[in-house]
Amino acid sequence: MDIQLSGIGMTSARTRERLVRRLRDVGIGNEQVLEVIRNTPRHLFIEEALAHQAYDDTALPIGHGQTISQPWVVARMTELLIAKKRPNKVLEIGTGCGYQTAVLAQFCDELYSVERIRPLQDQARKRLLQLGLARVQLRHADGGFGWSAQAPFDAILAACGRPDIPQDLLAQLADGGRLVMPVGSDGRQQLTVVDREGDQYHTQTLDAVRFVPFQRGVL
């Protein structure tokens, strides 16, 4: 998927460049990921009053007790998700404002994203349309059950943390597929990568991170 950028948000090129430099400094090495971060207008995903912080490497509130993920986290998770091979079909849990969704959409052919809070999903849908990313499929549901009708997925990314990885997500991972998710509790997790090979699941525990919780049910 290609993002349509003509005429929107290209004014802050300098602050975007500063963000890309910062991400390089903190270890993001994938040039394609850096390029997509540079070209994705993060300021369109947050309220105007916070827009001046859009290209700082920080999480920001998006309402409903949720946050837009920190650019480093978005870059890191994307880099991990595509490290082995470019995924065709991807599932995201926790659309939020849709920023990570917009980034991911530029690295796969089909993207399915689940969000449990309806008003956040509605806003994300508008922004994705505005950016020409209407092909992303959004669903209002508890992402703990994945999206069985569309499974299997080559890659699964969860943007919310819990102490265990939902069984349904592991089951919906394609053979050879990769899942990236923050695992842990009380707002302290570790980025965890799971690679599936047949019935075997290989787990790696990486960076310490802080994500909002993976909650049950829908709002």
Q: Which residues bind ligand SAH (CB under 6 A)?
A: 62, 66-69, 93-94, 96-97, 99-100, 114-117, 120, 142-144, 159-160, 212, 214-215
CB of residue 36 to ligand SAH, shortest distance in Å: 14
* Residue 102 CB, nearest approach to ligand SAH (Å): 9
69 is catalytic: yes
Minimum CB distance to ligand SAH, residue 131 (Å): 14
Nearer to ligand SAH, 68 or 194 (CB): 68
Long-range contacts of 8-15 (CB under 8 A, 24+ apart): 8/41, 8/44, 8/130, 8/131, 9/41, 9/43, 9/44, 12/43, 12/54, 12/55, 15/54, 15/55
CB distance 125 to 102 below 8 Å: no
Q: Minimum distance from CB of 149 to ligand SAH (Å)?
A: 16
Structure tokens, 114: 């689940």
DSSP E strand boundaries for the chain: 60-63, 66-68, 89-93, 110-115, 137-140, 153-158, 173-185, 188-197, 200-209
CB of 76 to ligand SAH, least distance (A): 12
Q: 196 vs 214, which CB is nearer to ligand SAH?
A: 214
Which one is catalytic: 6, 69, 113, 185? Answer: 69
Closer residue to ligand SAH (CB): 84 or 127? 127
Burial of 76 (C-beta count, 10 Å sphere; 0-12/13-18/19+): buried
Q: Given the complex with ligand SAH, which of 137 and 202 has the nearer CB atom?
A: 137
Nearer to ligand SAH, 104 or 194 (CB): 104
Q: Are 91 and 141 in contact (CB under 8 A)?
A: no
Comparing C-alpha atoms, which of 22, 29, 21, 69 is closest to residue 45?
69
Residues marked active site are found at: 69
